[in-house]
Structure 1
Amino acid sequence: MNKAASLYLDVLRLAAALVVFIVHASYLLPGGMPALWFVSGLGGEAVTVFFVLSGFVIAHVVRTREFRAADYLASRFARLYSVVLPALLVTVVLDCAGAALAPGEYAASMEHGAWGIGASLLFANELWFAAIRPLSNTPFWSLGYEFWYYMIYAAARYVPGRRSKCIAVLVLCMICGPKILLLMPVWLFGVAAYAVTCRRRLGQPAALVLAAATTGGLYLLATSGAKAAWRELTIAALGPVAPALGPSSHVLYSCAFGLLATLHVVGMMALAPVLGRVWHACEHPVRIMSAYTFAIYLFHYPILKFFAVAIAPAGLGMLQVPVVVVATLGMIAALGSLSDRFKPVLKRSFGRGLEGLARACMRRGSDAGDAIEHGKHVTIRGGR
């Protein structure tokens, strides 16, 4: 992946993370963020973009460097847990502190208690029809989807033998349940986008038309009212089970938005070398800020909620929103830097553990084979 294409992906994922941040800041802070009203309802769309980008990036790393299952799994676990572990710890600490200051604000967040933390640690928070939140950290739901997309893709990519591969994928799908699988096509759109950009490069005129048309299409779709209307169609079609689908009840809209976003990525990847000359001046700050996208996504909600509660008695008036936003972003930057240092340690630990497990399995398989061969030998001798 060339530098210009990589920079475009960084811009896109940073924009998606900031949209989610703005949506929740508008909801949690008194008075909201009226100057940014035009993105205040696009949280679900931003997560859809994350799914597309996730599939694209995973397809890239599998093709270019993570050729073994152990490397792939170690990278995924390290990437996830380097932020998930501190994010859940911060959520527990801040929610307990916030509940002491304003119990009413946190009453609903405590519904699942310790079980919510445990289920989130195991990414079991969205299996089948579950909707378990780790205290106030509501954005965590998407990781309960994405983790299983990683695992299903790994089974399809690394498990040897067609029959074994199909069984592994089927077992993982049965564990996930319908809710997670309904949005998997959005993630697979990203995988398909990577395959298309590798095999065929659009000409710049065609790429410009595609990028412009899909930008307009995304805007029209987001402002058309289709999201609510199509959800009603889904509920009518699926009946009583539909309300239990949570975010997946928007499956029709998410797939349509995800497909347009995917085509936009395909067009922009072809234009990236041209636009890279324009973006060159902002490359350094974009690289720095985009490194915190995962941290922004997982840390922001409990921090925003706590600061909104803790600073409210100070009576800052119009200054309250900027003070809370700056304090939240500063804390995310500090926590994100610590998490990033934690990742290589986790990757080495997971790598050693997976290598040890693989060797143990191979040794057990070898011992079983030797036992079978020995049994055959004894039988033949006995027969003589």
Structure 2
Amino acid sequence: MTAIIAGPKILLLLPTWLLGVVLFHICKKIRHHLSIGVLLILSSTCLYTFYRLSGLPDHLYDFTQDAFGAIFVRSNLEFSRWFLNDYIVALLVSMNIFGVVLCSANFSINEKLSFYIRYFAGMTFTLYLFHYPLLQLFGSIFNSSAAVIILTLANIVIIAPLTEGRKSYWLKLVNRLHSQVRKPVHNRY
């Protein structure tokens, strides 16, 4: 039922999200290994650069249009029409992240920098939710890519304390509403 509600556009990108989940669980259980980590970082960076410069993303898109029909792909898949490209990029990004995790035991971060990393990492869900609408908004107002990106990120920093920064408040509210919905209705007659 969930798959029907999500629809094909979301389901086409499901493997990329599942890869992230798998990577998260693998990273919790691995032993650090500097040389393998460096190899993964360098190889994924080189492969990504080659991939982007090779024109393969366009060939994959052409293949998708040939397989599913150009009209269907353009009118029905929207952002998911690049799903084959997204699979490759997700794999390369995962390799890179895995490499960084393998190397991480060999580096120490001072407490102040660690605080800022955690602080900004705590804004990722807000970034995920709001980046596209904000990019569209500022892109329609400004003609500068730099201005659009800076304004989008600045707004994420402003919005995040109201969303992720208040997770406990939102959780209590949802739980309260959920408990209200689940209360049995008494028949007055």
TM-score band w.r.t. shorter chain: 0.7 to 0.9
Pairing 1:254–2:86 present: yes
* CA distance in structure 2 between the aligned counterparts of 1:204 and 1:328, rounded to whole angstroms: 35
User: How far off its partner does 1:260 sit?
Assistant: 1.5
Residue 356 of structure 1: how far off its partner (Å): 5.1
2:14 to 184, 189, 193: 184
| TM superposition shift of 1:173 | 0.7
Once the two structures are superposed, residues 207-241 of structure 1 have per-residue CA deviations (whole angstroms, 9 ceiling, x without a partner) of 22122211222222223211111100011011142
Q: Residue 267 of structure 1 aligns with which residue?
A: 99
Find the structure with the greater CA-based Rg.
1
Correspondence for 1:350: 174
Distance in 1 separating the partners of 2:16 and 2:147:
37
TM-score (norm 1): 0.40
Distance across 1 between alignment mates of 2:51 and 2:110: 28
Q: Which residue of 1 aligns with 2:25?
A: 195
Cα deviation for residue 184 of structure 1 reads 0.6
Aligned partner (choices 131, 151, 154) of residue 297 of structure 1: 131
Q: Report 1 or 2 for greater relative contact order, CA contacts < 8 Å, sequence distance ≥ 6.
A: 1
CA pair 271-223 structure 1, distance change in 2 beyond 3 A: same
Shift of 1:286: 3.0
Q: CA RMSD of the aligned region, Å?
A: 3.3
Output the amino acid matched with 1:308: F
Instruction: Please list the CA deviations of residues 268-302 of structure 1 after superposition, one character each: whole Å capped at 9, or x if unmatched.
Output: 21212223x15766323333334444256256325
Q: How many pairs does the alignment contain?
A: 180
Structure-2 change in CA distance of 1:351 and 1:264 (3 Å): same
Alignment correspondent of 1:212: 42
Distance 2:170 2:162 in 1: 13
In the TM superposition, residue 252 of structure 1 has moved relative to its aligned partner by: 1.2
CA offsets 1:321-345 (integer angstroms, 9 cap, x no match): 8877766655543333334455432
Sequence identity of aligned pairs in percent?
20
Distance change in 2, residues 1:344/1:246 (3 Å) = same
1:116-265 aligned within 5 A: 171-201=1-31, 203-239=33-69, 240-243=71-74, 244-265=76-97
Q: List runs of 5+ in structure 1 lacking aligned partners.
A: 1-170, 310-319, 361-384
| Aligned partner (choices 92, 106, 115) of residue 284 of structure 1 | 115
Deviation at 1:351, TM superposition (A): 1.8
Partner Cα separation in structure 1 for residue 40 and residue 149 of structure 2: 36
Unaligned runs of 5+ in 2: 185-189
The one-letter code matched in structure 2 to 1:182 is L
User: Which whole-Å CA distance do the structure 2 matches of 1:229 and 1:279 have between them?
Assistant: 45
Answer whether contact 2:139 2:145 (CA < 8 A) is retained: no
| C-alpha distance after superposition, 1:38-79 (max 9, x if no partner) | xxxxxxxxxxxxxxxxxxxxxxxxxxxxxxxxxxxxxxxxxx
Question: Cα gap change, 1:271/1:236 in structure 2, threshold over 3 Å: closer, same or farther?
Answer: same
CA distance in 1, matches of 2:146, 2:116: 21
Query: 2:159 matched to which residue of 1?
Result: 335
